[in-house]
Amino acid sequence: MIINSRRDFIKTSAVGAGVMLASNFWVDKLIAGSAPAAGKDFIQQRFGLSPDEIQKTLAMALSRGADFAELYFEYRISNSIGMEEDIIRSTSEGITLGVGIRVLKNKITGYGYTNDLTMESLIRTALSAAAIAREAKHSDIISFMTRTPNHQVYELKNPLTEAKLNDKIQLVRDGYEIAKNYDSKIKKVSASLADEIQYIAIANSEGLLEYDVRPQARLNVSVTAEDKGVRNTGSSNAGGRVGIDFYKNIRTPKDIAKKAAEEALILITAKNAPPGTMPVVLSKDESGVMIHEAVGHPLEADANWKKTSIMHDKMGQMVSNPIVTIYDDATIPNLRGSLNIDDEGTPTENAMLIEKGKLVGFLNDRLGAKILGHKMNGHARRESYMSPPIPRMNNTVLEKGDSDPAEIIKSVEKGFYAVSYQGGQVSGTGKFTFSVNLGYMIENGKLTYPLKNATLIGTNIEILKEISMVGNDMGFFLGTCGKDGQSVPVTCGTPTMKISKMTVGGVA
Amino acid sequence: MINQEQYFKLAEELINTGKKNGATEIQISISKSDDFSIEVKDGEIERLSQAGPVGIGIKVIVDKRTATASSSDMKKETLENLVKNAVTRAKLASTDEFAGLPDNEKINSDISALKLYDLKIEEVSSDLMIQRALDLEKMAMADKRATISGGSFFGKSTSEIYLINSNGFSNSFKTSSCSTGVSLMSGENANSYEDGYYDHTIHYEDLMSNELIAAEAIRRLTRMLGAKKIKTQKVPIIFEQGISGSILGFLSSCLGGNSIYMKRSFLAGKLGEKIAPDFVNITDDGFIPKSPRSRPFDGEGVPTLKKSVVENGILTSYLLDTYSARKLKMKSTGNASGTTNFTIGGNTSAKDIIKSVKEGLYLIKTIGQGTVPTSGDYSKGAYGLWIENGELTYPVSEITISGNLGSMLKDIELVGNDVDFIHGKMVPTIKIKEMTISGL
């Protein structure tokens, strides 16, 4: 997952007190306390373009008869620090700057982008995107309505991008050292911190002018343990749209390191999962990956208006057991998938997808909403200015139920308990898998011994009906979701739940 | 528009900035592309995309301490600030005796002999691309068994890669590519299936015709219709040509230098050991003409010459960049940018491989992650055709296959002769003696 103008920004600093921002782009510190400039001025200040120039570019994009044109400006600074073999091996800094120009004519999209923000380059890019439409048309001058997001769901206080490099290095060292010294069976550790801040501005031919400032951070610790010739690796991470205080108060490097170390130590004692079809209990922390694959992707608007999703003709139908309610809420504060506005400038909201078993909504972008006759609900996202927006998930949640997690395990005579995952995948036809890193055998209602190396497979419309118990707990998982070659940060949240039967891919 | 000379000049200037500010060594890489693609759906253009992205990568070493940077903002002031910042940050990294750029190695081979650039690609017009994509979808959808089109596409791209470092390496190469394909769906609900076919070549004239692509897409779609779930069992598995790469892909991630010295590979420390039967030979070669995977040097300027990774079943080399090579007291294998044409030699026809199986699975698609380099564990969702008495019979799905790469390598029984580098199919059909299928 992951990333400039014409004024001078010099953030002077002594060595060890942070590093100056690379770009000459910034006039001032936009973040942390200082109120960002309003929309028009934002683009002027951040990208060096006047409202007139933006209007002219939009007019060019519409000049061949398109219905709609949009400019998406992005400037992103991303940093990372990596530690292995007891040393800080390297640090990196990345700058992403560019503008993506999108033109719509009926269902057709024209898209171009450039990282050269001169008028010449913008006009060339606008015209190439405009080429989808083929009739000359004069468009009226657009008057912009500057809008500011109606909620603020990020922690912009003490962002990591502004923190001293030494303070960030210390977080990485803490995570590394705690994991390394956790047990004598721990042989290798790597720890890394990635942080970024993304500034976007959106201007469109309907007169919208909007901007957003989005922080993101993730601290990861990976631990390799070895005993009697058996080796395995466990990982853990934490972060979100948070500042450095998150790692002091909410999830410390120590918490993350301990979790990774413990997983590695259990994995070296784990047996191969048994193969076959059996009841499966999904634990709360990471099992959202199942909802993400089985429910989230098939409910994205594009797969439904294109009829490539198995769900496209099931709106209003019962697709699950009534104990299941699933929504995608980008407005939950500080989560990795949270956004104030989506990448088309639509305010984000909590989109209900499945309510008490009934399919009630899709994840909509502008194009999908129009074709399907639905309302936009703030779910258009893009990896960067280089990609057109497509409907995506943000924070996908299966709502808490009534069952005590212990009772759920107790209800299983022989089955599989899934704890952590490498990830999941779904096909358009609804077949999905998730790859389990660590699980446990359930025998007579008790967790007996750890298991590894299992892929769980099912078809979403069948598995949804097999969800038979939903716990009263909740856990969130930090993920990166890939679709159409675009990666975006997401989370998913689930309580402990029971699937009455599912195929567990193990080794005989 | 910047020309080739100006990129070299920019890199030299940034190297000077770095040195002036205290860098001991500095490397600049620049990539520039021109991309154009058409996507078609239901007989209409769905999306047209055009762009000319440029990006730069910077690596700075100050007294054995490293920092890196990257940017898509190519303004000189931004880049100079990035270099200065990198020098400042490098001073905060740890001293690392293995840090540093490679010694300058001359690229002795003739890069143009690789034929990585087709001038004709520049002449492929947008009208031709649109027509080809429209025709391809129409041709495929003419078969009534395909009920929904997932869309067709045609794309072309040219790119230039530059690499310049303070040790005197200064080189560049150009590549072109074109690709086209179609995706289809058929069937209802849980019994539906999606598949398709695409081709990707460096030269326009090598690209498969629409007729062939449409026919192959239909063949792939229809052979899976009416798939059944089968019972849990252990059987021989044949990895079809297109997906056999997943075995070698997993192997390459287990041979990467970082996985080796971090002991995150079951093959760490196994150099010189027998890991596969005698007839198994695995190589990596960046110098195969017209292959989309070829490149003359890696991201550090080290030539990507042909090397044996497994020879007569013995592990003979890891896949190393300069850093991991120094750490392991070895030499870089030119794999700083990953593998190139990473392949396994074979001489049996795919047909004969199928014939050799009495009862087993012909694997045609996998789904999911399910690979753990540290342990070698392998587990994926699978789609395939059931083999009975040497013949492909009915389709099977919603099953998984599991094993361990260590035993899978030892269990390689037959290797196909169906490698096709020009179309990017580097890995032939592979038969594994036995793996676990989980199903009913």
ipTM: 0.92
pLDDT of residue A33: 32
Checking if the pLDDT of A4 tops 50, the result is no
Tens digit of pLDDT for each residue in A470-490? Answer: 999 999 988 999 998 899 999
Contact A155, A334 (CB under 8 A): yes
Supply the DSSP symbol for A291. Answer: H
- Which residue does chain A place closest to B49, by CA atoms? A111
Look up residue A296 and give its two tokens: 């989230």
Alpha-carbon gap: A150 to the closest alpha carbon of chain B (Å): 31
How many Å apart are CA A168 and CA A192, to the nearest integer? Answer: 10
Choose the weakest-confidence range: B105-119, B260-274, B306-320, B408-422: B105-119
Helix (H, G, I), strand (E, B) or coil at A76: strand
Look up residue B65 and give its two tokens: 């301490």
- Are B138 and B183 members of one domain? yes
Checking if the pLDDT of A181 tops 90, the result is yes
What's the domain count of chain A? 1
Interface touch B72/A95, C-beta < 8 Å:
yes
Interface touch A20/B82, C-beta < 8 Å:
no
Interface touch B263/A224, C-beta < 8 Å:
yes
Look up residue A3 and give its two tokens: 């990333």
Checking if the pLDDT of B278 tops 80, the result is yes
Amino acid A168 reads: K
Show residues of chain A in contact with B399, CB under 8 Å: 457, 503, 505
Torsion of CA B391, B392, B398, B401, to 10 degrees: 50
> For residue A290, what is the enclosing H or E element?
helix A288-291
Alpha-carbon gap: A371 to the closest alpha carbon of chain B (Å): 13
Asked if the structure places residue A454 within a domain, the reply is yes
How many Å apart are CA B233 and CA A279, to the nearest integer? Answer: 19
Q: How distant, in Å, are the alpha carbons of A117, A423, B40, B119, B282 from that of B376?
A: 48, 17, 41, 43, 18
Q: How confident is the model at residue B1 (pLDDT cuts 50, 70, 90)?
A: low
Interface touch A115/B89, C-beta < 8 Å:
no
pLDDT of residue A508: 72
Contact A284, A346 (CB under 8 A): no
Tens digit of pLDDT for each residue in B153-193? Answer: 999 999 999 999 999 999 999 999 999 999 999 977 667 88
Checking if the pLDDT of B345 tops 50, the result is yes
B373 phi and psi angles, rounded to 5 deg? -60, -40
- Which residue does chain B place closest to A13, by CA atoms? B88
- Which residue does chain B place closest to A131, by CA atoms? B48
Alpha-carbon gap: A237 to the closest alpha carbon of chain B (Å): 18
- Are B272 and B150 members of one domain? no
Checking if the pLDDT of A21 tops 80, the result is no
Contact B256, B335 (CB under 8 A): yes
Tally of helices (H runs) and strands (E runs) in chain A: 11, 23
A75, A87, A277 ranked by CB distance to B440: nearest: A277
Asked if the structure places residue B65 within a domain, the reply is no
CB neighbours of B391 closer than 8 A, spacing ≥ 6?
A: B354
Q: Mean pLDDT over all residues of chain B?
A: 94
pLDDT of residue A27: 31
How many other β-carbons are positioned within 10 Å of the β-carbon of residue A423?
19
* DSSP codes of every residue in A170-202: HHHHHHHHHHHTS-TTEEEEEEEEEEEEEEEEE
* Pairing label, strands A350-355, A454-459: unpaired
Look up residue B220 and give its two tokens: 């792939």
How many Å apart are CA A226 and CA A232, to the nearest integer? Answer: 7
Q: 3-state secondary structure string, chain B? A: CCCHHHHHHHHHHHHHHHHHCCCCEEEEEEEEEEEEEEEEECCEEEEEEEECCEEEEEEEEECCEEEEEEECCCCHHHHHHHHHHHHHHHCCCCCCCCCCCCCCCCCCCCHHHHCCCCCHHHHCCHHHHHHHHHHHHHHHHCCCCCCEEEEEEEEEEEEEEEEEECCCCEEEEEEEEEEEEEEEEECCHHHCEEEEEEEEECCHHHCCCHHHHHHHHHHHHHCCCCCECCCCEEEEEEECHHHHHHHHHHHHHHHEHHHHHCCCCCCCCCCCCECCCCCCCEEEECCCCCCCCCCCECCCCCECCCEEEEECCEECCCECCHHHHHHCCCCCCCCCCCCCEEEECCCECHHHHHHCCCEEEEEEEEECCCEECCCCEEEEEEEEEEEECCEEEEEEEEEEEEEEHHHHHHCEEEEECCCEHHHCECCCCEEEEEEEEECC
B413 phi and psi angles, rounded to 5 deg? -105, -40
Beta strands in A256-345 (DSSP E): 271-272, 276-282, 326-329
Residues of A (206-225) whose Cβ lies below 8 Å from B: 222, 224
Interface touch A22/B185, C-beta < 8 Å:
no
Choose the weakest-confidence range: A340-354, B105-119, B139-153: B105-119
- Are B216 and B262 members of one domain? no
> For residue A35, what is the enclosing H or E element?
none
pLDDT of residue A290: 86
pLDDT average, residue stretch B116-144:
96
Interface touch A453/B379, C-beta < 8 Å:
yes
Question: Shortest CA distance to A396 belongs to which of A472, A336, A467?
Answer: A336
- Are B182 and B283 members of one domain? no
* Bridge partners, residue A196, by sequence: A78, A216
- Are B214 and B239 members of one domain? no
Asked if the structure places residue A355 within a domain, the reply is yes
- Are B337 and B199 members of one domain? no
User: Domain range for residue A432?
Assistant: 276-505
Checking if the pLDDT of A19 tops 80, the result is no
Residue % of chain A over a pLDDT of 90: 71
Q: How confident is the model at residue A43 (pLDDT cuts 50, 70, 90)?
A: confident
Asked if the structure places residue A137 within a domain, the reply is no
Interface touch A107/B44, C-beta < 8 Å:
yes
How many Å apart are CA B333 and CA B324, to the nearest integer? Answer: 10
Residue with the larger pLDDT of the pair A233 and A505: A233
pLDDT average, residue stretch A1-26:
30
Number of CB pairs, chain A paired with chain B, less than 8 A apart:
297
* Bridge partners, residue B436, by sequence: B234, B402
* Bridge partners, residue A436, by sequence: A421, A454
- Are B401 and B300 members of one domain? yes
Checking if the pLDDT of B32 tops 50, the result is yes
Show residues of chain A in contact with B397, CB under 8 Å: 431
Show residues of chain A in contact with B264, CB under 8 Å: 188, 222, 224, 233
Checking if the pLDDT of A141 tops 80, the result is no
Helix (H, G, I), strand (E, B) or coil at B248: helix
How many Å apart are CA A428 and CA A350, to the nearest integer? Answer: 24
Dihedral sign, CA of B352, B356, B362, B366?
negative
pLDDT of residue A18: 34
CB neighbours of A118 closer than 8 A, spacing ≥ 6?
A: none
Checking if the pLDDT of A8 tops 60, the result is no
How many Å apart are CA A393 and CA A199, to the nearest integer? Answer: 20
How many Å apart are CA B44 and CA B40, to the nearest integer? Answer: 6
Burial class (CB in 10 A: 0-12, 13-18, 19+), B407: middle
Tens digit of pLDDT for each residue in A399-427? Answer: 999 999 999 999 999 999 999 988 888 88
Show residues of chain B in contact with A435, CB under 8 Å: 368-370, 379-380
How many Å apart are CA B15 and CA B20, to the nearest integer? Answer: 9
Amino acid B121 reads: I
Interface touch B401/A459, C-beta < 8 Å:
no
Asked if the structure places residue A174 within a domain, the reply is no
How many Å apart are CA B435 and CA B411, to the nearest integer? Answer: 9
CB neighbours of B223 closer than 8 A, spacing ≥ 6?
A: B364, B385, B392, B395
Q: Does A461 touch chain B (CB under 8 A)?
A: yes
A94, A458, A507 ranked by CB distance to B69: nearest: A94
- Are B384 and B240 members of one domain? yes
Contact B403, B373 (CB under 8 A): no
Residue % of chain B over a pLDDT of 90: 90
Interface touch B232/A275, C-beta < 8 Å:
yes
Interface touch A19/B126, C-beta < 8 Å:
no
Contact A43, A160 (CB under 8 A): no
How many Å apart are CA B350 and CA B344, to the nearest integer? Answer: 14
Look up residue B350 and give its two tokens: 């795919």
Interface touch A425/B381, C-beta < 8 Å:
yes
B41, B194, B403 ranked by CB distance to A429: nearest: B194
Checking if the pLDDT of A222 tops 80, the result is yes
Show residues of chain A in contact with B66, CB under 8 Å: 89-90
pLDDT average, residue stretch B332-336:
96
> For residue B219, what is the enclosing H or E element?
helix B210-222
Look up residue A196 and give its two tokens: 């970024």
pLDDT average, residue stretch A245-266:
97
B47, B82, B93 ranked by CB distance to A109: nearest: B47
What's the domain count of chain B? 2
pLDDT of residue A429: 77
Q: 3-state secondary structure string, A324-336? A: CCEEEECCCCCCC
Alpha-carbon gap: A8 to the closest alpha carbon of chain B (Å): 9
Asked if the structure places residue A182 within a domain, the reply is no
Alpha-carbon gap: B296 to the closest alpha carbon of chain A (Å): 26
- Which residue does chain B place closest to A106, by CA atoms? B46
Show residues of chain B in contact with A388, CB under 8 Å: 47, 49
A462 phi and psi angles, rounded to 5 deg? -85, -45
> For residue A372, what is the enclosing H or E element?
helix A366-372
Question: Shortest CA distance to A57 belongs to which of A114, A135, A132?
Answer: A114
Tokens 């446990």 correspond to: A440
A125, A232, A276 ranked by CB distance to B232: nearest: A276
Beta strands in A61-157 (DSSP E): 68-84, 87-105, 108-114, 145-146
Asked if the structure places residue A107 within a domain, the reply is no
pLDDT of residue A39: 52
Checking if the pLDDT of A146 tops 90, the result is no
- Are B391 and B252 members of one domain? yes
**Best residue of B62, B263, B374 to probe chain A, by most A CBs closer than 10 Å:** B374
Q: Does A356 touch chain B (CB under 8 A)?
A: no
Q: How confident is the model at residue A24 (pLDDT cuts 50, 70, 90)?
A: very low
pLDDT average, residue stretch B350-358:
98
Residue B139 sits in a domain of what CATH number? 3.30.2290.10
pLDDT of residue A220: 97
Choose the weakest-confidence range: A267-276, A457-466, B322-331: A457-466
Alpha-carbon gap: A401 to the closest alpha carbon of chain B (Å): 27
Checking if the pLDDT of A241 tops 80, the result is yes
Amino acid A28 reads: D
Interface touch A226/B440, C-beta < 8 Å:
no
Q: Which residues of B375-397 are buried (b: 16+ CB within 10 A; e: fewer)?
A: bbbbbbbbbbbbbeeeebeebbb
Look up residue A361 and give its two tokens: 């909504």
Tens digit of pLDDT for each residue in A313-360? Answer: 999 999 999 999 999 999 999 999 999 999 999 999 999 999 999 999
Tokens 């649109």 correspond to: B130
- Are B340 and B214 members of one domain? no
How many Å apart are CA B300 and CA B217, to the nearest integer? Answer: 39
Show residues of chain B in contact with A453, CB under 8 Å: 370, 372, 375, 377-379, 402, 404
Checking if the pLDDT of A428 tops 80, the result is no
Predicted model pTM: 0.92
Asked if the structure places residue B288 within a domain, the reply is yes
Interface touch B381/A431, C-beta < 8 Å:
yes
**Best residue of B17, B49, B60, B228 to probe chain A, by most A CBs closer than 10 Å:** B49
Show residues of chain B in contact with A86, CB under 8 Å: 94
Asked if the structure places residue A147 within a domain, the reply is no
Alpha-carbon gap: A349 to the closest alpha carbon of chain B (Å): 28
Q: How distant, in Å, are the alpha carbons of A266, A313, A380, B2, B82 from that of B14?
A: 49, 57, 38, 16, 10
Checking if the pLDDT of B143 tops 50, the result is yes
Tokens 């990976």 correspond to: A222
Interface touch B150/A308, C-beta < 8 Å:
yes
Alpha-carbon gap: B17 to the closest alpha carbon of chain A (Å): 14
Q: Does A91 touch chain B (CB under 8 A)?
A: yes
- Are B264 and B241 members of one domain? yes
pLDDT of residue A25: 39
Checking if the pLDDT of B355 tops 90, the result is yes
User: Domain range for residue B388?
Assistant: 233-438
A4, A165, A427 ranked by CB distance to B92: nearest: A165
Asked if the structure places residue A204 within a domain, the reply is no
Q: 3-state secondary structure string, A471-506? A: ECCCEEEEEEEEECCEEEEEEEEECCEEEEEEEEEC
Alpha-carbon gap: A406 to the closest alpha carbon of chain B (Å): 28
Asked if the structure places residue B4 within a domain, the reply is no
Q: How confident is the model at residue B309 (pLDDT cuts 50, 70, 90)?
A: very high
- Are B186 and B266 members of one domain? no
Interface touch B261/A85, C-beta < 8 Å:
yes
Residue with the larger pLDDT of the pair A14 and A261: A261
pLDDT of residue B189: 65
Interface touch B194/A308, C-beta < 8 Å:
yes
Alpha-carbon gap: B75 to the closest alpha carbon of chain A (Å): 9
pLDDT average, residue stretch B341-346:
96
Asked if the structure places residue B317 within a domain, the reply is yes
Show residues of chain B in contact with A115, CB under 8 Å: 53-54, 72-74
Q: How confident is the model at residue A2 (pLDDT cuts 50, 70, 90)?
A: very low
A92, A310, A457 ranked by CB distance to B400: nearest: A457
